[in-house]
Amino acid sequence: MPRRGALTQSVRDSLVVARRNLIRMTRIPEMILFGVIQPVMFVVLFTYVFGGSIAIPGAGASTSAYKEFLMAGIFAQTVTFATAGAGAGIADDMHKGLIDRFRSLPMARGAVLTGRTLADLVQTAITLAVLAIVALIVGWRTHENLGSVLLGFALLLLLGYAFTWIGALIGLSVRTPEAATSGGLIWLFPLTFISNAFVPVNGMPTFLQYVAEWNPFSATVAAARELFGNTIAGVPKSVTGAWPMEHPVWATLIWSVLIIVVFRTLAVRKYRSAS
């Protein structure tokens, strides 16, 4: 019973903090607006600037084929780049002394961070929904049933939620929101570009092929393509025989849960001692 009571309190406190952050979000609508503009720009630029130049195995340099190949990568990039915002938000709360105030209250340990990451997940879901509409406008289409498509978006959001815990740890580890933003992006660029998101892996040097195909970001992109029905016949699942590329849905679940467990533990531990 005590354990159940502690769990109930933790859930309640987390939802209270999440509500606080969602209310703040509605009062600063530019947070959502700017979060939507960047991925929309990526869609337009990659589709119309690079789409006719990048050759897809089995489809050639075709803009329509590249749209099918690209969109899962753009969706995954969008949910992972939310990490920087999560880290900056927590660093800002630290800078203003809000974290110290929360720690002085009779709240469940970890509820502040859980509430914050849940609010960020809602914001990411809104951004993803808008981006999907833009993708449909520029010609992207799915070829699987609704349940499969929704599962694809759920896996994308799961990875995004996992990465917000990395952002939370970064936000607790730096002194300013600006440092958190830089620290949250500096490792995301190689993670997202050394992957199967924007170009086929088989064109990379051999050692980068292994890195890309064991990249958790690549697994999520591959899973989304599979569930959206956006796989292209000429593009092999894996060029190195990597297990995550052969079983991307399971790999995404395993990677995401592992990241959440590890980085939530580290973030909550850091939260207890941060000042």
Q: pLDDT tens for residues 260-269?
A: 999 999 998 8
Q: Are 272 and 175 in contact (CB under 8 A)?
A: no
Q: pLDDT tens for residues 197-243?
A: 988 898 899 999 999 999 999 999 999 999 999 988 777 888 899 99
Phi then psi for residue 156, to 5 deg, are -60, -45
- Spell out the domain ranges in the chain: 2-273
Q: Which two structure tokens, joined as six digits, stand for 205?
A: 């040097």
Tell me what the mean pLDDT of segment 5-26 comes to: 81
- The stretches of 104-145 forming alpha helices (DSSP H) are 111-137
By C-alpha distance, which of 203, 83, 52 is closest to 194?
Answer: 203
C-alpha to C-alpha distances, 100 to 64, 104, 173, nearest whole angstrom = 52, 6, 15
Q: Are 159 and 252 in contact (CB under 8 A)?
A: yes
Cα 121 to the center of its chain, rounded Å: 9
Q: Are 200 and 245 in contact (CB under 8 A)?
A: no
The HSE-up count of residue 169 (CA atoms within 13 Å, CB side) is 15
- Residue 61: is its pLDDT beyond 60? no
Q: pLDDT tens for residues 129-141?
A: 999 998 998 888 9
Q: Which two structure tokens, joined as six digits, stand for 198?
A: 């924007």
Q: Are 237 and 245 in contact (CB under 8 A)?
A: yes
Average the pLDDT over each of 38-42, 68-72, 248-252 and give the range with the smallest value: 38-42
Q: Are 123 and 79 in contact (CB under 8 A)?
A: no
- Residue 3: is its pLDDT beyond 70? no
% residues pLDDT > 90 (the chain): 38
22 compared with 226, residue with greater pLDDT:
226
Average the pLDDT over each of 37-41, 159-163, 231-235 and give the range with the smallest value: 231-235
Strand segments (E) across the chain: none
Give the model's pLDDT for residue 60: 52
142 compared with 61, residue with greater pLDDT:
142
Q: Are 92 and 176 in contact (CB under 8 A)?
A: no
Residue type, 153: F
User: Model confidence at 42, in pLDDT bands (50, 70, 90)?
Assistant: confident
User: Model confidence at 80, in pLDDT bands (50, 70, 90)?
Assistant: very high
- Could you give the CA distance from residue 29 to residue 34 in angstroms, rounded to a whole number? 9
Tell me what the mean pLDDT of segment 10-18 comes to: 84
- Residue 1: is its pLDDT beyond 50? no
